[in-house]
Structures are given as C-alpha cells and as structure tokens.
Structure 1
Amino acid sequence: MPPNSTSPTLTAAQRWAVAVTALAAMMVTLDSLVVTSALGAIRTALHASIEELEWTVTAYVLTFAVLLMTAAALGDRFGRRRMFITGLAVFAAASAGCALAPDVGALIAARAVQGAGAALLMPLALALLGAAIPADRRSKALGVFAGVTGLAVPVGPLLGGAIVTGVSWPWIFWINIPIAAVLISLALTRIDESFGPKARLDPGALLLVTASAFGIVWALVRGSKAGWGSAEILSTLTVGVLLAVGFVRWQRRAVEPMLPMHLFASRAFSVGNIAIFFEWGSALGALFFMAQFLQTGLGFSPVRAGLALMPWGATTFIVPQIAGVLIGRMGVRPFIVAGLGLHAAAMIWIAVIAEPGLAYQQLIAPLIVSGSGVAMSLPATQSAALGSVAPQYVGKASGAYSTMRQLGGAFGVAVVVAAFASTGSYASAQTFNSGFTAAMVACAVLSLAGALSGLVAPRRIPPTRPSETTDQTAHLVSGPRSDVRNSAWSRAAGSGSDAM
C-alpha cells in the first residue's frame, strides 16, 4: 500500500494506475455506445428481428447488472488485479466472439459473456485505483478517471458510426482486443495486487437475483410477440416477481447480505435507486432508437448519425460538472425532478415532430434539452443513493446503485421496444416512424416516473458518521484505518464508476 504524502502530485506508478483503470472503464463504456450506431447494420447483415436486435443490447446489460456485486466480492477474495485481468481477458474473448458471430443467436450469447467481463472490470478498476493512491491525491485521480470515462459518451456513437461506415460492423468489437491486450500487459507490470475484506460469497442470492431479472426481462422482451396474456409471458413474469420476493427474504436472513435491506429505510437511498432505474431505462431506450431513426427514418449513414448525436453526448459531458457544484447548495430534489422532467419533455417534443425526411436542425434543440436533463439528474441520483448511507455500507450501496442502473437499462429497452412493436415495424420509413413515435412516448413515461420519485426525496441529505463497525469501504481503499476522507472517496468513487 503506498504511503500517504502531503504532495498533490501523482507519482509515476500512480499515474499508471489511473491510466490503466480509466482506459479499461472507457473501453467498456465505449462498447456500450458504439453498438447503438451499428444496430442498423447488424439487423441487415444478420437478418435480425426487432426482438433479436433488442437482445443484443439486453443480454449485455443484464449480465453486467447481476454480476456487479459478485465481481467486487471476487476481487476482494482472490485479488483485485487478478480478477481485473480476468475481466479484460473475458471481455476481449467475448469481443472476438461477437465479431465472428455467424448469426444473431451467437452474437447475443457473446454479448452476454461480454457483459460478464464488463462486470469484473468496472468495480475492480475503482478498487485498484483506490488501493494505489493515498487519500490526499484521490480527488485528482478520480477527476481524471471520470473525465476519461465520460469522454466516451459523446465519442461512442460517432466512433461506432465511423467504423461501420469505413470498415464493417464486426470491427466495433475487433478494436477491443488489442486494447485489452495492452491493458493486461500494463496491469501485470504497473499495478500492484491488492485484496479487500474477504466477505462470504452467496451463490444462492446471486442465483435468485439473476433468475428474477431474467424472468422479468424475458417477459417484457417477448410480450409483444407471444401476447401479453399468453401462458409464457404470465408464467415467466410471475416467476420473476416471486424470485425477486425470495431474494429480498434471503437477504433479510443473510449474515453477510449482498444488499443489506435496511438501506432502503433511508428515503434518500430509495429515491436515488428508483430514480436511476427509470432514468437509465429511458435514456438507454432513447439511444437504442435514436441512431436507428436517424438512419432508417432520415437516411443518414452510420457516421453521420453518430455526428448527429453529438449535441446529446456533449451535454452529458459538460452539465454534470456544473450540477455537481449546485447540488451541494440546493439539494438533490430539484435536480432529479427538473432533470427528468426536461428529458421527458424532450422525448415528447421528438415524438411530435418525428417524420420521415425531418430536417435534422429540428432535432438539435430537443437533443440538447434531453442530454441536459439526463446530465443534471444523474449526479443528483448518485448523491442521494451514496451520500445517505454510513461509510461501512457505501461499497454495497454503490454496487446496488450500479446494479439498479443497469437493470433499469434492460427494463427500459424492453418497454420501449414493446411500444415500438405495438405500432410499427421496419417494413418502411413510415411504419418505422409510427413505432418510433410510440417508443419516444414510452421514454417520456419512464422519465416522468423517475421525476415523480424525486418529489419525495429529502431536501437535504444529513451527513453520515462512521459507526463502530469495521469500515469495509475504507479498508478497501486504504487499509484498515477509517476516516472521513475515505468515506468521501467511496461516495465519489461510486459516482464515477458508472459513466454508462
């Protein structure tokens, strides 16, 4: 463990730790976004239906979500660097599987494995960063980490479009392999191994939460095609809900729960998690269809569609810096309610004006409004969820928040695709536009649900104090001693961990 220092300057070893972890997180974030620009090309090349196209996104998000908390526990027990490198290797191998997929079924399977690799990478990147850098230098390191990762938001759709237009869609996955190979080499030679508190793994809880999420998402994805009243949908949805109830009961009785249920007694924690669930469901659902609308509805090339989404991405990179300062003065409630309200208004705006041949200039303003709304509410949900818990629980609270965000994305894509399928299809630009309009309305409804949850957020989040219980998060980032700076780092790390 590096010794504390009064100097704010990062050493060479610490700069390597920041670079390796930030680039790994950026690779994962870029992979989530470049796919949005390639969906049209993938649909055409692999003759994918809307349901199959949906699963190329949902399979990745679903495995990413349900394995996040387990990945952090594996890193603590078996070594963070070891599991981080394992995550890089899994991600690279799955990327090759995606690029070589002969059909859409193989692509979906490879995307699910990719999500598992991403789940290992994201939480362990921050854990390694925290272990490598002493407390007085962490804010600077986190700022670099968040900036590098956040850069993927405006760049992702453009990069994906450029690759699809200039080469072919498999290359959005091939580029991950040399990057992962370099990062593995650097991690082995530039980052020290570290361990955390060896909490007991709980395979029963993991099985319950995975099966529950899969059952619910399966019902949402298949509902339009199989029929919402069919035995398949009713049975899988019922089983999914019952398993979710079983997971809650299991956690209540567990000695070392994956997700301590008492955290939800905090109004701020509950609101933060509910709001991010609906926020990311709406945002990812909108991204899923916006790039397709630009290409199918307006005839844009993939690279031009990526450029067209830059106003949205630029706001999500700039606005959080301002919102983060104001939240400390005004509280989280105004930013959750106003931000998600703006995003909902932008979705309705786009639904009203959408038509084949629409002049792109008419989309710029609602894209900026949407991006600004998402960007101002995101740090507020993070502050609500992570700033309201005692330090010894902040690691698990961060894992819960990240999991709810990813599950919200899977849920949102399923809902939005169901709305599209109920009124539209890919048969023509006109029929696509009909479905797209319904999808944007569904995005607005999801965002409004998040805004409504924000209305009950406390005006101010009371400061938390370390309890006499061992501060596991402080141990994770700087050894067995606990102090206020460690708690602040943990909250900030949770905020920076989830650019996507």
Structure 2
Amino acid sequence: MTSFTPLQRLVVAVAILASFVTFLDGTVVTVALPAISRELGGGIATQQWVVDAYLITLSALILLAGSVSDAYGRVTVMRVGLIAFGAASVAVALAPDPLVLIIARAAQGAAGALLVPSSLALITSVMRGEVQARAIGVWTAVTTAAQMIGPLMGGLFVDLLSWRFVFLINVLPIAVNLILLRRLALPGHERSIRVDWTSGVLCALGLGGLVFSLIEQGRMGWTSPVIWGPGVAGIVLMMLFLFRQRSDAALLPLSLFGVRNFAWGNLSTLFVYAALSLNGFVIGVYLQQGPGLSATAAGLASLPITILMILLSSRAGAWAGRLGPRLFMTIGPLLMAAGAALLLTVATEFDYWWQVLPSMLVLGLGLALTVAPLTSTILGAIDERRSGIASAVNNAVSRVAGLLVVALLSTIVGGTLDLDGFHSAAWVTAALFAAGGVVSWIGIRRAPATASTGATAPGTPG
C-alpha cells in the first residue's frame, strides 16, 4: 500500500479488517458443520440453517445498512457493527442447542450487514480512479482470501479444540479495528438521506419466508401448509418490497440499474457468487463425509485458491483499471467453470492430488482474475454520494445468491451429499460460473472518463 497516502492506507486497513470478519465467518463455519451436527443433531437441515440463518439477515439487511451508512456516517455505523458482531460471535460459541445457535447466527448476520457497505464506502469516499481500483484490489485480495482460508482455520479449530472456538476467531480483528477507528478522522457527515425502514422489514421477512420453504420442503413436502404458506407470504412480501422501490430515496433505488455496468455486473455477481457458495459448502462437507478427511484436511483442500488470490487479485484489479474489466470478467468465470468441471474426476477411490488439486488451481486463477475487476466496475459506475447503497446492493446480490443456492442444496444433490450428489453439484457450479462469464461478455463495457452518474470509472483515463 506504499502508493497510498497515510489517510488512504488507514482507510484501506480499516475497511479490510471490518469486512474480514464477515467474510471469514461466512466460510469458516463450512468445515465445522459435520461437528456441529454430531454434537447438536439435526442432520443436513441444521447444516443448511447454520449457514442460511447468517445469510438471511446479512442479505436482507445489507441494503438497509447501506442507506444507514450513507445517512449516519460510515465510521459510526462500522463501530456499532463491530461491537454487535463480536457479541453475537460469543453467543454462537456458547449455544447449547440448534435453535439458540441459529438465532445467534442470524444476529451475527444482522451485525455483519453493517460492516461491508460501510467499509467499501469508506474506500470510495476518499479515493477515485486508478487509486480506487488499486485499493479495491487490495481489499478484494484480503477479504476473498479470508473467505478461502476460513475452511482451513475452521478445520484446525475443530480438530484441535472445538467447533465453538471457530466463532471466536473474530475477537482479535474486531478489537484492533475499534482501535484504528479512533485514529480515523474524516470530514463531518451531513444526514441528508432518508432511510426506508419499512422496506428493510419487508425484505427481511420476504427472504426469510422463501428460504424457510426451500430448506424445509425436503422434509415436509410442498403440499404442507407449513411450507407453501411461508413461501407464498415470502413472494408477496418481496413483491411489496419491489413495489416500494420506485425512487432514488428508496432502499433499493431501481434507477441504479439504469447504469449499464452496474446492472450487468450485478447479474454476473449473482451467478458467480451462487457458484462460489455452492462449491465452498459442498467441498467442505463432502470431503469429510465422503472420503473421510479430517476437518483440517478438508480446509486445506482449498488453500491453493487462497494463495493465488493473495498473489494475483490486486494485480488483476490494476490490470483491469488499465485495460478495461470486460476481458477479465469473462475469462475469469469461464476458467472457474472449467475448474468446477474438473471435480467430476473425484471418484470412490479418492486422490486429492489428481482429483481435487487441479480444480483448486484453475478455480483460484479464475477467481483472482474476476473479483477485483468485478467489484471495481460495479462501484465505479455509481457516484460517491450513493457509494454506500451501491456497495450494499452488490453485496446483497452476492449474499442472496449464496443464500438461495444453499437453500436449494437438497434439490441440487438429490437429497444426499454422496458421490453422485457431489457430481451433480459440480455440474451446477460449472454452469453457474459459465453463465457469469457469458453475462459479463454481453453486458460489460469500458466506462467513459466521466460516467453519467458523475463518477470517474476506476482505471479510465481522464
């Protein structure tokens, strides 16, 4: 970060640490799921809810949090989010049964929703152009590495201590970031943006009803009123939510999607992050329940992706800033599709080095080429005043993608995550990645020096 000013370095460090805990906690739990299920019971449904309870509140409230960040100030919102996230993490670690665990996970997601939009908005509020592209590249490299290294850290804690310690990893980075926030002095914030609290409630309840139906239908069937009732209610509430979003003052300003790169970039995000979530869940669980690897070994399986992300992601952000993002956002997902397809070589006679490692290397290369250009393109398309909500929309899209694909897990794998189910998940993952690449090629364009929103696109001359 030597090319940044002292203020910019501090902002990037704060943004990274704030997002680090939410991204880490989204994936560190994956390899702990079998241990949680063994201790607390509940089978695959409990495993799905441990993941999706977090994603429901994170996805549903991240839009609201983006508006709150723009209205009340990024530093204030981030401080509240960090304290709440730390408290919820302790509650998860102490949970005595599945219900308490799931409720605490939902609280974690709600707190996490306050962190990601405010952290990226901090970057876009003090940096634009190529400097912003480099900053987002660094942010992306570290936070995505947190997602990738999460399973390894979780595996070590599960094998050496207990799954409960997995959720206490956050305490140290939260404490450090609260100290750094005291040193961060930004210009005074003017509260000029209205927060649509009603839309936030509609979104949260709507997503909750839909996900409940998707997860529990495998156990009760679609004919049960306990299933179709919440499902129908969820659809109605989401329709009411969208009906309210008809102005720039709304929680989700639909006018943002009139910006080409923002709209197409978010559609690509939907496919790519659905594939990433499905792949991460299936790898973490199957390698333990199928070949019988330890939690640590299952976590180590994805380490090559982490290494490649750290080495290449910030460079990819800079390259995309100079050459334009379209090529990277197309080739990257197509490489990841090929990597997912390589998992079809996994057989009953398991061999990590020939059946899984090649996939991890190709996936890591594709992911490193994709994530920073994708994030920079989407955020650079929107002016700084709305950077909080723009960041929130993109993060909400990625979380909803993961939320829905995990909720559909039983359908995707045919009810059981055995070898056939693993192969089915690999096919679906490859198709989702490929769709993300095709969408980027069709829709993404190199932005002019000054976009219609008044934003300078990252990396464009001007």
Say yes or no: TM over 0.5: yes
Relative to 1, partners in 2 of residues 1:255 and 1:333: Cα closer, same or farther, differing over 3 Å? closer
Structure 1 equivalent of residue 308 of structure 2: 315
8 Å contact from structure 1 (residues 340, 448) kept in 2? yes
Whether the 8 Å contact between 1:83 and 1:120 is mirrored in structure 2 is yes
One-letter amino acid matched to 2:90:
A
Matched, 1:405 2:398: yes
Q: Equivalents in 2 of 1:136, 1:457: separation in Å?
A: 22
Partners of 2:415 and 2:3 lie apart in 1 by 57
Q: What's the counterpart of residue 178 of structure 2? A: 184
1:365 counterpart letter in structure 2: P
Say if 1:390 and 1:464, in contact at 8 Å, map to a contact too. no
Q: 1:22/1:391 Cα in 2 relative to 1: closer, same or farther (>3 Å)? A: closer
Aligned to 1:285: 278
Q: Using the alignment, how far apart are the partners of 2:373 and 2:129 within structure 1? A: 24
The match for 1:354 among 346, 361, 371 is: 346
Query: Structure 1 residue 453: deviation in Å?
Result: 2.7
Matched, 1:433 2:425: no
Q: How many residues get paired?
A: 457
Distance 1:78 1:353 in 2: 51
Aligned residues of 2:133 and 2:317 also touching (Cα < 8 A) = no
- 1:6-25, aligned counterparts within 5 Å? 10-11=5-6, 16-25=10-19
Deviations 1:142-178 (CA, angstroms, capped at 9, x unpaired): 5654454344244322211111111111111123234
> Cα distance 1:292–1:214, how it changes in 2: closer, same or farther (>3 A)?
same
Inter-CA distance 137–347: structure 2 relative to 1 (3 Å threshold)? closer
Whole-Å separation in 2 of the counterparts to 1:396 and 1:238: 28
Output the TM-score relative to the length of structure 1.
0.81
Structure-2 separation of matches of 1:373 and 1:14:
28
Native 8 Å contact 2:58 2:110 kept in 1: yes
Determine the C-alpha separation between the residues in 1 that align with 2:3 and 2:323: 30
On the 8 A contact 2:57/2:109 being kept in 1, the answer is yes
With normalisation by structure 2, the TM-score equals 0.87
Deviation at 1:17, TM superposition (A): 4.8
Superposed counterparts of 1:4-153, under 5 Å = 10-11=5-6, 16-128=10-122, 145-153=139-147
Change (3 A) 1:316 1:222: farther
Counterpart check, 1:200 vs 2:194: yes
Q: How far does residue 86 in structure 1 lie from its aligned partner after superposition?
A: 1.5
Return the match for 1:345 from 338, 341, 356.
338
Identity %: 32
Tell me how far 1:330 sits from its aligned partner.
Answer: 5.7
Closer, same or farther in 2 for the Cα pair 1:26/1:394, shift >3 Å?
closer
Partner Cα distance (1:329, 1:78) in 2: 35
Judge conservation of contact 2:60–2:203 (CA < 8 Å) in 1: yes
**Paired AA for residue 285 in structure 2:** Q
The residue aligned with 1:477 is none
One-letter code aligned to 1:382: T
Q: 1:458 to 1:144 in 2, by over 3 A?
A: closer
Q: For the Cα contact (< 8 Å) 2:129–2:458, is it kept in 1? A: no
In the alignment, is the contact (CA less than 8 A) between 2:209 and 2:231 conserved in 1? yes
Partners of 2:289 and 2:218 in 1: how far apart?
A: 22
| Counterparts in 2 of 1:263 and 1:315: CA distance versus 1, 3 Å | same
Instruction: Give the letter for the 1:83 counterpart.
Output: V
| Structure 1 residue 372 displacement after superposition | 2.4
Separation in 1, partners of 2:351, 2:386? 50
Residue aligned with 1:299, SS: coil
**Cα pair distance change 1:397/1:176, threshold 3 Å:** closer
Measure, in 2, the Cα distance between the counterparts of 1:16 and 1:266: 31
Which residue of structure 2 aligns with residue 396 of structure 1? 389
Q: Provide the C-alpha distance between the structure 2 equivalents of 1:463 and 1:133, rounded to a whole number of angstroms.
A: 15
Match of 2:407 in 1: 414
Residue 294 (str. 1) matches residue 280 (str. 2): no
Deviation at 1:204, TM superposition (A): 1.7
C-alpha contact (below 8 Å) 1:419/1:435 kept by paired residues: yes
Q: Displacement, 1:134? A: 10
**Correspondence for 1:447 among 433, 439, 442:** 433
Relative distance call for 1:75 and 1:452 in structure 2 (3 A) is closer
**Residue identity opposite 1:55 in structure 2:** W
* Whole-angstrom CA distance in 2 between matches of 1:419 and 1:27: 29
Q: Is the 8 A contact 1:154 1:314 kept in 2?
A: no
Residues 263, 415 of structure 1: CA spacing in aligned structure 2 closer, same or farther, 3 A cutoff? same
Distance 1:298 1:23 in 2: 35
- What's 2:214 paired with? 220
Q: 2:238 matched to 1:244?
A: yes
Q: What is the rounded CA distance, in whole Å, between the counterparts of 1:140 and 1:273 in structure 2?
A: 20
Aligned to 1:496: none
Change (3 A) 1:446 1:219: farther
CA contact (8 A) 2:341 2:430 kept: yes
> CA separation of 1:349/1:488 partners in 2, compared to 1, >3 Å: closer, same or farther?
closer
Q: Which amino acid aligns with 1:361?
A: W
Number of the residue aligned with 1:478: none
Does the aligned pair in 2 maintain the 1:31–1:156 contact within 8 Å? Answer: yes
Give the SS at the match of 2:293: coil
Q: List gaps (5 residues or longer) in structure 1.
A: 1-6, 426-431, 472-482, 492-500
Q: Which residue of 1 aligns with 2:169?
A: 175
**Cross-structure match for 1:479:** none
**Aligned match of 1:456:** 442
Q: CA deviation at 1:133?
A: 8.1
1:228 Cα deviation (Å)? 4.0
Q: One-letter code of the match for 1:219?
A: S
Taking only aligned residues, the RMSD between alpha carbons, in angstroms, comes to: 3.2
Which one-letter code corresponds to 1:109 in the other structure? Answer: I
1:170 counterpart SS class: helix
After TM superposition, give the deviation of residue 433 of structure 1 in Å.
Answer: 2.1
Q: Deviations over 1:107-159 (max 9, x none)?
A: 11111111111111222234455667899976776565445434424432221
Contact 1:391-1:466 within 8 A present in 2 as well: no
Which residue matches 1:428? none
